[in-house]
Amino acid sequence: MSAHPEDPAPRLRYTDPDTHRMEKPPKSSLVELALIGLAYLFALVAPSLVVPPGQERATAARVAVAAGLTLLGVAVALVVAGIAFRRTRNFSWLVVGVVPSFALVAGAAILAGTKAFGS
Within-domain flag for 19:
no
Within-domain flag for 6:
no
- The CA-based diameter of the chain, rounded to the nearest angstrom, is 85
Within-domain flag for 17:
no
Count up the domains in the chain and report the number.
1
Within-domain flag for 44:
yes
Distance CA 104, CA 82 (A): 17
| Cβ contact 59:93 at 8 Å | no
Within-domain flag for 16:
no
Give me the domain span that covers residue 69. Answer: 26-117
Within-domain flag for 49:
yes
Within-domain flag for 82:
yes
> What's the Rg (C-alpha) of the chain?
23
**Could you read off the pLDDT tens digit of each residue along the chain, which spans 119 residues?**
555 556 666 666 566 666 666 678 889 999 999 999 999 999 999 999 999 888 888 888 999 999 999 999 999 999 999 999 999 999 999 999 999 999 999 999 998 888 887 65
> How many contiguous H segments (helices) and E segments (strands) does the chain have?
3, 0
Give the pTM.
Answer: 0.78
